Structures are given as structure tokens and as C-alpha cells.
């Protein structure tokens, strides 16, 4: 039998275990979700919330890496894995391994954001790309909670 209590739970991104393909799809919507937060409804809202909650469990460096790879207004702007590898002076295989190692951390369902503020005390930023930091993500969580409680 399914580990979900109801059919609604089965399709709820907050209660679903994702694979790398599904996480990548969410990450490609990251910029859109963040810039259209007030307009999101239904399943789209739940996907955004699930993404932001899962991102909160990553380190600042891991979020910065994923942002360099996925945080763009359009898919045409996103660098391919060869460009990412060149930017970080690594082989393509190492970039795939690094990305997959981070994505694995995002597979499990997350029902609330990570609340420890010390995760953002790490000042290391691995890219010149402007990336959302912990304060922005925390602000988005607060906005999500306000919208969700309406």
C-alpha cells in the first residue's frame, strides 16, 4: 500500500519524496516562484513552498551553487553543465557529482523550514552571481506563511 494517507497527500509536494529530475524541475522555477510569490495558487504555491523549505536545509554554498546553475528568469539564460564546470574550474563529471550530492539532500519531504540561523553565518560565496541568501529565503517563508493562513 502507499505510504500516503490519502490521494491528496500523494500529490502534495510537501509530503512527497522527489527524485533528481523532479528537484531539477522545481529549481528551474525558483526565480519565477520567488518573483511571483503573491500570484501563486494551488499546486504551484505548494511546489514553491516545498522548494523553499527544502532549500532552507542546504548550506549557503550549496544554495549558491544551485542558484548559479538554476536561478534565472528564463531557461535560455541558464548555463549548461559544461559552462558551470568551466566557471568552477572542474570537470563536467565533478560538477554532476557535486550537483547530485546536493540534490540528494532535497529528496525527502520537508514540512517546515530549517530554523537555525547559524546556517547563514558562513560568509563564503562560490559565485559572483547574485544569489538569494538565508535572509531572503526566511522572508519568503514568512510571506508564504501569511499567504497560506489567509
pLDDT tens digit sequence for 104-125: 999 887 777 776 544 444 433 3
The predicted pLDDT at position 126 comes to: 35
Residues 22 and 17: their CA atoms lie apart, in Å, by 9
Rounded CA-CA distance 28/42 in Å is: 19
What is the C-alpha to C-alpha distance for residues 114 and 138, in angstroms, rounded to an integer?
Answer: 9
Q: Among candidates 90, 99, 74, which has minimal Cα distance to 23?
A: 99
Q: How do residues 51-99 score in pLDDT, each as one tens digit? A: 998 998 899 999 999 999 999 999 899 999 999 999 989 999 999 999 9
Closest by CA to 32, choosing from 72, 79, 82, is 72
Q: Is pTM beyond 0.75 here?
A: no
DSSP 8-state secondary structure symbol assigned to residue 18: -
Average predicted confidence (pLDDT) for the chain: 76
pLDDT at residue number 111? 72
CA separation (Å) from 46 to 15, 64, 77, 91? 10, 23, 25, 35
Instruction: Answer yes or no: is pLDDT of 131 > 50.
Output: no
The Cα–Cα gap between 66 and 98 comes to 10
Amino acid at each position: 500500500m502507499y505510504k500516503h494517507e490519502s490521494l491528496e497527500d500523494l500529490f502534495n509536494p510537501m509530503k512527497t519524496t522527489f527524485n533528481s529530475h523532479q528537484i531539477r524541475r522545481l529549481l528551474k522555477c525558483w526565480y519565477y516562484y520567488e518573483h511571483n510569490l503573491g500570484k501563486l495558487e494551488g499546486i504551484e504555491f505548494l511546489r514553491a513552498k516545498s522548494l523553499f523549505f527544502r532549500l532552507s536545509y542546504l548550506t549557503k554554498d550549496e544554495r549558491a551553487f544551485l542558484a548559479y546553475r538554476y536561478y534565472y528568469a528564463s531557461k535560455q539564460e541558464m548555463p549548461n553543465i559544461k559552462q558551470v564546470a568551466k566557471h568552477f574550474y572542474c570537470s563536467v563529471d565533478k560538477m554532476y557529482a557535486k550537483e547530485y550530492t546536493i540534490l540528494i539532500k532535497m529528496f525527502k519531504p520537508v514540512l517546515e523550514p530549517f530554523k537555525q540561523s547559524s546556517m547563514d553565518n558562513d560568509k563564503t560565496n562560490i559565485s559572483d552571481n547574485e544569489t538569494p541568501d538565508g535572509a531572503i529565503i526566511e522572508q519568503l517563508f514568512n510571506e508564504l506563511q501569511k499567504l497560506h493562513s489567509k
